[in-house]
Amino acid sequence: MPITQQQLLQILPNAGAKAGVFVSPLNAAMDRHQIVGPKRMAAFIAQIGHESGQLQWVREIWGPTATQRKYEGRADLGNTVAGDGFKYRGRGLLQITGRANYAACGEALGIDLINHPELLEQPQYACLSAAWFWATKGLNTLADAGEFNTITRRINGGLNGLADRLALWAKARGVLA
């Protein structure tokens, strides 16, 4: 069963009008990657809710911070050309980061993200990239098992923002139950 705009707003009240913009592409992306049923949907919505500031940001806010400066030249992200750190900063609802991840995501979605990284800022691709990342990391299985902290680590590399993620997850489970 798809999520409704009303349910999305109950979970992510700060989304405001953005809930209406994202509900259709979000449902299409979740359907495409089998993020279906209350357990999977609740975990996914909680994670994208945290990572996007409740659908407010589809592009990483750039300082640059000390962490962001370290994106430059990171071979593990495929950032091998000067300027890659900024060009391939986090985008989409789960913040796809790095030239290598943009290339893999673009290939999976059938779009040129290397030359047009800004495409991940469009609602359709922001949602599809998040669902693609979720699927490629095996997060449906973890959601089914209730392994929320492991999901957080696979998305974020740690447990940053865990309290907010857990609060959104609890809200999502209540709304989607």
> What residues act catalytically?
51
Residues of the chain with pLDDT under 50: none
Looking at residue 24, its pLDDT comes to 98
The answer, as to whether pTM is greater than 0.85, is yes
pLDDT, the chain, mean: 97
Q: How many helical (H) and strand (E) elements, i.e. helices and strands, does the chain have? A: 10, 0
pLDDT in tens, 132-151: 999 999 999 999 999 999 99
Can you list the alpha helix ranges (DSSP code H) found in 33-138?
38-51, 66-69, 84-87, 99-109, 123-136
CA distances from 160 to 44, 153, 155 (A): 16, 8, 10
Domains of the chain: 5-57+122-176 (1.10.530.10), 66-119 (3.30.20)
Residue among 9, 78, 107, 103 at smallest CA distance from 49: 9
Decide: residue 165, CB within 10 A, 0-12 exposed, 13-18 middle, 19+ buried. Answer: buried
